[in-house]
A = this chain, B = another copy of it.
Amino acid sequence: MNKISPSSLPPRVGRLKAGMAKQEVDVIISFKPENSFYFTGFNPIIYSHPVIAILTRDHDPIMLVHALRDDHGRASAWVPDIRLYGAWSTKVTMGPNWQDALASILGDLGVAAKTVGIEEEFVSIQRLGQLRKALPDATFTDVSHLIDHCRLIKDPDEIAQARIAAKIADLGMDTAVETLAAGGTERDVAVASMHAMNRLWAENYPDVEVCDFGSLEGGVQNGLWTWVLSGPRMFFNCDNPTQRKPQRGEAVSVLIWTIANGIHAENERTVAMGPLPEVNRRALNAILEIREEVDAIIRPGTPYRDLFEKTREGLKKRGYGANIPGRIGHGIGLGAHEHSSLDANSPLVLEPGMIFTFEPNIRVPCVCATQISDTVLMTETGREYLTRSAGGYLEV
């Protein structure tokens, strides 16, 4: 996936090195699947043996993987420098475990006794113990924020993948709405929508992988997903679909999450099953109006918190002052939910290259709920909606 010629490293490598210089970090060793993929282009899907990305300020990224990932890694990563640990059939490796291999690589690079950046929001206490033993002279420092900050601005290869993920999500939404109109259960809608997305991917995107980043006890082979929550189940916010059949007069949340070569998109709509009761229709119309009001200020230079405040103002004005959400969107990319939040306390300002979900919504517990979200890319001059399926008031 994401094959890039070694001579043209993606811009993020330069940004990471600049961040390292600023924070006075000599080497980053990355263990978090989303991040080691970001540094190397390799997602083995199964992470029971860690993939370790190594980056110094004056050396291109190195990838250290278990021997059983050798062939797969060489075929997938854009990093040309791949080292092996562990034992697997007749493969020759740097040693039986990653600790020895890592110590040896850092020794050769002259950084084993320097400032070593690790992801303190991900690296476990147990792994820190292993690292301290392998690199007894290193000084460890947290680079979670440094990496998250780099990830805020997407590289051209990432934007290209986000467009594909959004296109797949749009078909998923269209199929879900059609299946709802035809009278399917929550599961019928989810299964038909996921199958349509998979067929689109299988036939049209030869160079795209749709695996995701999973638990370290598992691995996500396919990340094209449709969530359906009908009527009172909307208040669960998220859940596995059931055999419940949406009833006339109910609203239904359809959430589509997709991934293309590691980059996610999200397309969420609230669908009315015929005419809705006044309380639901009013909420849905209110949020659609608020979306337009807030959309008008989505441009480079607008602080995230202004988007939140504009939403709050719109909700208050319409009598929903007691139902202010915690946030109205979040960063999206290697994570379906990246760390940045469009909330009241965000220090961030919209910049070209950012991708986020835009999802002001209303929840009045037990009364009414709306769920509408698009994936939005910041351009030099404004914003571009990557998800483009029908918006507005959707009734089937």
A217 engages B336 (CB within 8 Å): yes
Among B1, B129, B188, B326, point to the contact of A87 (Cβ < 8 A).
Answer: B326
Provide the A111-140 mask, 1 if CB < 8 A to any CB of B, else 0.
Answer: 000000010111111111100000000000
CB distance from A280 to the nearest CB of B (A): 16
Q: How far is the CA of A236 from the CA of B238 in the complex (A)?
A: 35
Count copies of this chain in the complex. 2
Question: Which size bracket describes the interface of A in this complex?
Answer: 35 or more
Known contacts A90-B365, A206-B243, A214-B220; A123 and B124 CB within 8 A of each other? yes
A240 engages B211 (CB within 8 Å): yes
Q: How far is the CA of A123 from the CA of B209 in the complex (A)?
A: 30
Q: How far is the CA of A336 from the CA of B221 in the complex (A)?
A: 12
Known contacts A125-B128, A238-B72; A325 and B191 CB within 8 A of each other? no
With a cutoff of 8 Å between Cβ atoms, the chain B residues found around residue A121 in the complex are: 124-127
Q: How far is the CA of A236 from the CA of B222 in the complex (A)?
A: 17
A68 engages B336 (CB within 8 Å): no
Provide the A323-337 mask, 1 if CB < 8 A to any CB of B, else 0.
Answer: 111100000001111
A322 engages B217 (CB within 8 Å): no
Whether A88 sits at the interface, judged by CB under 8 Å, is: yes
With a cutoff of 8 Å between Cβ atoms, the chain B residues found around residue A190 in the complex are: 202, 222
Whether A195 sits at the interface, judged by CB under 8 Å, is: yes
Q: How far is the CA of A363 from the CA of B71 in the complex (A)?
A: 12
Q: How far is the CA of A148 from the CA of B1 in the complex (A)?
A: 34
Q: Which DSSP category, helix, strand, loop or mixed, fits chain A's interface?
A: loop
Residue of B nearest to A224 (CB): B222
A238 engages B44 (CB within 8 Å): yes
Provide the A231-263 mask, 1 if CB < 8 A to any CB of B, else 0.
Answer: 000011111111100000000000001000000
A212 engages B214 (CB within 8 Å): yes
Whether A297 sits at the interface, judged by CB under 8 Å, is: no
With a cutoff of 8 Å between Cβ atoms, the chain B residues found around residue A335 in the complex are: 215, 217-218
Q: How far is the CA of A86 from the CA of B237 in the complex (A)?
A: 15
With a cutoff of 8 Å between Cβ atoms, the chain B residues found around residue A160 in the complex are: none
With a cutoff of 8 Å between Cβ atoms, the chain B residues found around residue A126 in the complex are: 120-121, 142, 144
CB distance from A224 to the nearest CB of B (A): 9
Residue of B nearest to A1 (CB): B240
Q: How far is the CA of A46 from the CA of B237 in the complex (A)?
A: 10
Whether A225 sits at the interface, judged by CB under 8 Å, is: yes
**For window 299-343 of chain A, which residues contact chain B by CB distance below 8 Å?**
322-326, 334-339
**For window 83-125 of chain A, which residues contact chain B by CB distance below 8 Å?**
86-91, 118, 120-125
Whether A146 sits at the interface, judged by CB under 8 Å, is: no
Among B45, B211, B218, B240, point to the contact of A221 (Cβ < 8 A).
Answer: B240
Interface core residue of A129, A209, A241 (most chain B CB under 10 Å): A241
Interface core residue of A33, A187, A363, A364 (most chain B CB under 10 Å): A187
A-B contact pairs, 17 of them (CB 8 A): A44-B238, A46-B337, A72-B239, A75-B236, A88-B326, A90-B322, A118-B125, A122-B124, A123-B125, A187-B201, A191-B198, A191-B202, A202-B243, A214-B215, A217-B339, A219-B337, A221-B226
Could you list 13 further interchain pairs (A-B, Cβ under 8 angstroms) beyond the known A88-B326, A215-B335?
A: A86-B326, A89-B365, A90-B322, A118-B125, A120-B129, A121-B125, A123-B124, A191-B202, A194-B198, A213-B217, A215-B220, A221-B226, A222-B240
